[in-house]
Structures are given as structure tokens and as C-alpha cells.
Copies of this chain bind each other. A is one copy, B any other.
């Protein structure tokens, strides 16, 4: 009847672009709904494909989740590792940079939602937790440990229990990022000043590590 109407194809062939589009959609849905709560229908709809198409690219829900982690979080780790290798100058500055980068590229983004998700659902999906532990937590720990050990070796940091210190040092950032993805989304303390939080964290952690007493505390923080 309407000759111009026949032009809309039922679907398009986009083999190369699909996986990325699906992963991106899946990231959104997983972060928003959690693992169990994420419906593959929703992922498909958001990616603009049909449900069946998901299974052309990913074996099942778990594989899709792992792909999300591998594609979005894991690449950050190698970036971090390069930054560390490149660095010259005091280790304390490297540490501050590391924390700042972590926050900017992970903690403040929706990727942090993945951490929250893993913590929330690891009880019911142990493989998820093990996967995240193996692919994200441990590698990221190795980076931080490396920095600490180098700083101690050079005499810049005092000797601390490195095996545990790396967890402790990053905990405030990790917890804050998780917090922002859950409770913080709805009831942010009105006056939360993120830069100031990051500064306070870096100052305290560097202070905890430095071999010599801290020299300068910004005057505006004096009570």
C-alpha cells in the first residue's frame, strides 16, 4: 500500500558492534537491578536486540556478567600498572595519584556498581564472587602492594604489614564508592565534599605510612 514504508528493515546486521552494545546495556541493567534482578529481556531491549541475540554472543547470564567485568574493569588494571611503572619521584605522590585515578576512573563511575553487586550477590552466586576476587581484587591488590613495598624499600615509608596494609589503605575508597552506589544514591549527606574526602583519605594514609612525621597540614583544616 505505502511504497515508502517497505524501507524499514526488520533488523540490521552489526556483528562487530553487537557485543559492545550488549555489554554496555548489560552493565547498566546489572548495576541498576543487581545480578538476580537483571532481566535478560531488559538487557536485550536496552541493547536494541532480541533476547535470542544475546545468546549468539554470550553463553548465558553468568558469561555475560563476566564479559562485563572483563571488558570494563579489567582494562583499568593494566592502565594502573603502567602508570605505576612510569612514575618517578616520591612514592607518596605515586600513592596519591593512584588513589585519585582509582576514584576518577572507577570509584566515581557506575563501574563501582559492579563491586556493590558482587558483594550483594556473592552469597547466592559464589562463582561470581570468586571470579571478581580472582580477576579484580587480587590484581588490584598486587599493584598497591608493589607501591608499598617499593616505598618501604627506599626508606620513604616506615615498615608496615604490607599484606594487610594494602587492603586497609584502599578500604575507605572502596567503601565510599560502594556506598555511593547504594545508600548514597538516595540520601547523600547534604554537604558531602568529595574532593575534601579524597584529600583527607590521602593525607591520613600517607601520614600513616611516612617514616618521618607529617610536615604540613593545610591551615584551613585546623579547628
A residues touching B (Cβ–Cβ < 8 Å)? 32-34, 36-37, 116, 118-124, 126, 129-130, 132-134, 137, 149, 152-153, 155, 158-162, 164-165, 167-169, 171-172, 174-176, 178-179, 181-183, 185-187, 189, 196-197, 199-201, 203-205, 207-209, 211-214, 217, 221-223
A140 to chain B, nearest CB (A): 14
| 5 more A-B residue pairs beyond the given contacts A129-B185, A133-B183, with a C-beta to C-beta distance below 8 A | A33-B123, A37-B121, A118-B183, A164-B201, A175-B175
Q: In the complex, which residues of chain B have a beta carbon less than 8 angstroms from the beta carbon of A37?
A: 36, 121, 123-124
Asked if A119 and B178 make an inter-chain contact with CB atoms under 8 angstroms apart, the answer reads yes
State the 8 A-B residue pairs at the shortest beta-carbon distance, nearest first: A120-B120, A129-B183, A208-B208, A171-B172, A164-B200, A126-B186, A122-B182, A161-B200
Asked if B187 and A129 make an inter-chain contact with CB atoms under 8 angstroms apart, the answer reads yes
Distance of A168 Cα from B179 Cα, bound (Å): 13
Q: Is the interface of A mostly helix, strand, loop or mixed?
A: helix
Q: In the complex, which residues of chain B have a beta carbon less than 8 angstroms from the beta carbon of A196?
A: 161, 164
Across the interface, name the chain B residue whose C-beta is closest to A212.
B213
Q: In the complex, which residues of chain B have a beta carbon less than 8 angstroms from the beta carbon of A133?
A: 183, 187, 189
Asked if B204 and A129 make an inter-chain contact with CB atoms under 8 angstroms apart, the answer reads no
Asked if B213 and A208 make an inter-chain contact with CB atoms under 8 angstroms apart, the answer reads no
Asked if A223 and B187 make an inter-chain contact with CB atoms under 8 angstroms apart, the answer reads no
